[in-house]
Structure 1
């Protein structure tokens, strides 16, 4: 007797994330706009000014970083959600920006080794099921000396805020796989990157990271 193989835990987590983002895509820009202004203000600009050469935007979403990239870069974007990519495609057209968009998983990037000069990931490692695997993939597709640029919310340096984040996770992790008490800096260093600069903002609950792949 034969049947369909049961998906692994990792596959199930990825499929759940795709459903969450497909469902949320139509309202995502409206919902995130306030938080980007108040909590993450200037973050996408910070990423864009540091992007160089062939740029891969991992978890590109609806393309909210597109306006902030320099005109001379060559853009590629990847996202798990077809619905989010459809909005990113329209945004690129409206901005007259050229970007090669792909549907795919940040933990299994469908690109050759050393394909990019810069990898950017904004507000997404908080919900990627295995961020260490995703960061290792970003390392793989970067040229030696290439840049990784990250923006995300992380565990606060202020205990009362961190406690509130932990409580919030009791809802957000089961519902949408979204974490608030992760921190990616140690994972970036462990993956073989040299840290160039970091910033902690908003009681340490927002982190910006610029690192380079060791030659």
Structure 2
């Protein structure tokens, strides 16, 4: 089987690991402009709401680490070993203690009710089964625990939505990256209570604060 054929039959999770391993060396440089112009204070918004024992799902290169309060304990899960290695360097450079592990968002390696806050930023757009990931986030949260999400989502403006749909015909097939997904229906379907829901940039960026019912 040649490499093209092998990739055609590649498991979605294995594909994501390969894609993000390849992207890791240039990820921070590429994301700097996007985050500044599209996310605004999104990561600061997440950090300001984090409390207690924090789990960041798909922590990437650790771009949210500088924004967490000093009094929280941080655990991070990342599918890509290359991204995780950079997150560990980020934590070391910040002098921040964090338990950073390789793991799959759809199968979190933690007992029920292990965390007070779960954070996920720019990842539900590419996790193969986002509903399964949200269900896992709910499982590991304590009753009353906080779920904090930030992602690009389907725009509320039809011209932008049309472009998103066209782009993901390529990115979905090649990299498992989708632009017309939406976080809110997944969160409500999983039984969370939404506390804050904000959309901006033509409705194409969304941040959510929800809680697991006590």
Q: In 2, are the aligned partners of 1:195 and 1:211 still within 8 Å (CA)?
A: yes
Deviation (angstroms), 1:192: 1.2
Partner SS state of residue 147, structure 1:
strand
* 1:17 to 2:16 alignment: yes
How far the C-alpha of 1:175 sits from its partner, in A, is 1.2
Does the CA contact (< 8 Å) of 1:158 and 1:204 recur in 2? yes
Flag structure 2 segments of 5+ consecutive residues without an equivalent: 1-7
Q: Structure 1: which 4+ aligned runs deviate by more than 2 Å?
A: none
Report the count of equivalent residues. 207
Residue 11 to residue 75, structure 1, CA distance change in 2 (3 Å)? farther
Unaligned runs of 5+ in 1: 1-8
Are 1:10 and 1:129, in contact at CA under 8 Å, matched by a contact in 2? no
Are positions 1:35 and 2:39 aligned together?
A: no
Q: Distance in 1 between matches of 2:195 and 2:154?
A: 21
RMSD: 1.2
CA deviations on 1:163-185 (whole Å, 9 max, x unpaired) are: 00000001110111000000010
Distance 1:81 1:145 in 2: 30
Distance 2:114 2:167 in 1: 38
Matches within 5 A, 1:81-120: 81-120=80-119
| Residue 176 (structure 1) aligns with | 175
Question: SS where residue 110 of structure 1 aligns?
Answer: coil
Matched residue of 1:37: which SS? Answer: helix
